[in-house]
Amino acid sequence: MQPSTRHVYLNLDALRGVAAISVMLYHFSPFITDGKVLPSSYLAVDLFFLLSGFVIAHAYDRKIETGMGFGTFLLIRLIRLYPLYLAGTLLGFFYLLIKNRLMPAEYLPLSDIAVMLTTGMFFIPLVSSAYHTIFPLNPASWSLFFELLVNIAYFLLFFVLSKRVLASLIAGSLVLLVVAAALAGTLDFGMTGQTIISGLPRVCFSFFLGVLLCRSIGLYRGKLGFLQTGYWIEISIVLTLVAFAIAPGGAMRPIYDLICIVLLFPIMVVVGALAPTHPRCSKLYSWLGRISYPIYIIHTPLLMIIAGAGKAVSIDPFANHPWFGIVMAIAVIVIGDIGTRIFDEPVRRFLQRQMLPRPRAIA
C-alpha cells in the first residue's frame, strides 16, 4: 500500500464505523425509545457490501493477478472474519443455555440449540420458517454469509471480470433487486429463510459496484480535484446519518432505499477514496474502522445477554429507556474494543503465522 493511498482506508473506515454503530442503535431501539432509532439503518448492510467490494479489489486484484491461489485467498478471509464470528455465535449459544435455566416457560429443546450451534459454526444457514433468521444464535451473521459467498464468486470469476462484465453483472443484479424491492416494499431482506434468495442480488449489486469503483477510481482523481480541500468526508458521514434517519412510508420506501444504494452510497465511497484525511481525525477514523466489525458481529448476542440480565435482576429494559439502551450501546462498544485487542487481533496473528504460507526468502 502506497503511503499516498492510506487516507482511502481511514476515510472508508470512518464510514464503516459510523454505519456499524447506526445498525447497533437501530437494533437497540426498543431499549432507547418508543420508535425506531435511525429507522433506515438496515441500509448500512448495503454500504458494508459496497465498501467491501472496493477494499477487496484494492487489496487482492494485484495479488490474484500475480498468482495468489484460491485456498490462500479464502484462508485469509476466514482468518479475518471467523474468530469474532465464532465468539458472537458462542455468546448466543451461552445466552440460550442460561435462558433455559432461568426462564423455564420459554425452554428451548437442547436438540434445537445444538442444530443452531452446529450449523452456525460452519456458516450453514437455517432456511426453515421455524427460525426467525438464518443464523438464530447471531442474527447479524446473515450478511457475513453473503459476504463470504460474494468473496468466493469474486475470486472464481476474477479473470473474466472486465469492466464491461462488471457493468453487466451490476446491471443484472440491479434489475433483480428492483423487482425484489417492489415485491417486498423494502430492501430489508436476505436475513430469513423466506427472503434468502433476494439477498443474492442485494450483495452482488453493491459488492461488484464497489469493485468497479475501485478499478475506476483513477478516472475521477483529476476531475474531482476540489475534494482535496474542505471537509468532504465529514459531510459524507453526516449525510450517512441523515440517510439512515429518513424513513419514507408506503411506495416511497423501496424507491428511497434504491436511491441510497445506487446513488448516495457510491458517491460517498468515491468521496472517501479521494478526499484527504484531516490529521486531527486520523486516530478517530482508524479507531472507528477497528471497532466496526466487532460491534456489528457481537452486538445482537450481547443485546440478548444484557437485556436478559436486566430482567434477571428485575429491571424491565423496555420500561427504562433511554438510559438502559444507552448503557447497552456503550457496553457493546467497550466490549468490542477490548475484545479486538485481547482476542481477535492476537488470534488472527497466531493463525496467520501457523496457517498462511510464508514469503520466500530473497537470495
The full set of domain ranges for the chain reads: 3-352
User: Across all residues in the chain, what is the average pLDDT?
Assistant: 92
Distance CA 285, CA 180 (A): 35
R_g (Cα) of the chain, nearest Å = 21
* pLDDT of residue 5 exceeding 50: no
Start-to-end CA span in the chain (Å): 24
* pLDDT of residue 117 exceeding 70: yes
User: Residues 122, 196, 16, CA angle at the centre, nearest 5°?
Assistant: 75
Distance CA 325, CA 357 (A): 45
Residues of the chain above pLDDT 70, percent: 96
Predicted confidence (pLDDT) per residue in 309-323, tens digit? 877 777 777 777 788
Which one, of 58, 3, 60, 26, lies nearest residue 269 by Cα?
58
Distance CA 80, CA 21 (A): 20
Angle at which helices 265-274 and 232-245 pack, to 10 degrees? Answer: 160
Predicted confidence (pLDDT) per residue in 281-291, tens digit? 999 999 999 99
The percent of the chain in helix, strand and coil, each rounded to the nearest 5, is: 75, 0, 25
* pLDDT of residue 275 exceeding 80: yes
Q: How many CB atoms lie within 10 A of CB 37?
A: 21
Which one, of 18, 133, 152, lies nearest residue 77 by Cα?
152
Weakest mean pLDDT among 32-36, 251-255, 316-320: 316-320
Type of residue at 323: W
Residues of the chain above pLDDT 90, percent: 79
DSSP character for 4? G
Distance CA 255, CA 235 (A): 23
Please tell me the predicted confidence (pLDDT) of residue 360: 57
Please tell me the predicted confidence (pLDDT) of residue 314: 76
Distance CA 303, CA 203 (A): 26
Please tell me the predicted confidence (pLDDT) of residue 312: 73
Type of residue at 18: V
Q: For residue 326, with 0-12 CB atoms within 10 Å meaning exposed, 13-18 middle and 19 or more buried, which class applies?
A: middle
Cell digits for 178?
Answer: 428492483
Predicted confidence (pLDDT) per residue in 162-221, tens digit? 999 999 999 999 999 999 999 999 999 999 999 999 999 999 999 999 999 999 998 888
Predicted confidence (pLDDT) per residue in 80-103, tens digit? 999 999 999 999 999 999 989 888
> pTM for the whole thing?
0.94
